[in-house]
Amino acid sequence: MGFIKHENDVTFVDVDEHTVSHLSEQGYAAIYPADMDLTGVAVAFVSVTALTAACGIDLSYLEQACKSLGAALAECDTQPVVAFRCTIPPGTTRDRLVPLLEEASGKQAGTDFGVCYNPEYLRAYCAEQDFLQPRIVTIGRDPHDAGFTRRLTDIYSSFEAPFYQCSYEEAEFHKYVHNLFNATKISFFNEMRMVAQNIGLDPRQTFECAALSAQGMWDSRYGTQDRGPYAGTCLPKDVGAWLSFTEERGLPAPLLNAVREVNRACGGT
CB of 45 closer than 8 Å to CB of 10: no
184: phi then psi, degrees, rounded to nearest 5: -65, -40
Question: What residues are paired with 117 via a beta bridge?
Answer: 84, 140
What pLDDT was estimated at residue 266?
A: 96
Q: How confident is the model at residue 56 (pLDDT cuts 50, 70, 90)?
A: confident
What pLDDT was estimated at residue 123?
A: 86
In CATH terms, 2-168 corresponds, of 3.30.70.20, 3.90.180.10, 3.40.50.620, 3.40.50.720, to 3.40.50.720
pLDDT of 52 > 80? The answer is no
DSSP category for residue 10: -
Q: Which residues are catalytic?
A: 234
What pLDDT was estimated at residue 129?
A: 92
Question: What residues are paired with 31 via a beta bridge?
Answer: 13
What pLDDT was estimated at residue 147?
A: 87
Q: How confident is the model at residue 90 (pLDDT cuts 50, 70, 90)?
A: very high
Query: Considering the chain, what is the average pLDDT of its residues?
Result: 94
Residues 247 and 243: their CA atoms lie apart, in Å, by 6
What pLDDT was estimated at residue 139?
A: 97
Per-residue pLDDT of 139-167, as tens digits, reads 999 888 888 999 999 999 999 899 999 99
Residues 160 and 229: their CA atoms lie apart, in Å, by 37
Starting from the edge strand earliest in sequence, which strands make up the sheet with 137-141, in order?
43-46, 81-84, 114-117, 137-141, 163-166
Percent helix, strand, coil in the chain, to 5, is 50, 15, 35
Per-residue pLDDT of 126-140, as tens digits, reads 998 999 999 999 999
pTM, two decimals, is 0.93
pLDDT of 54 > 80? The answer is no
| Count of C-beta atoms within a 10 Å radius of residue 236 | 17
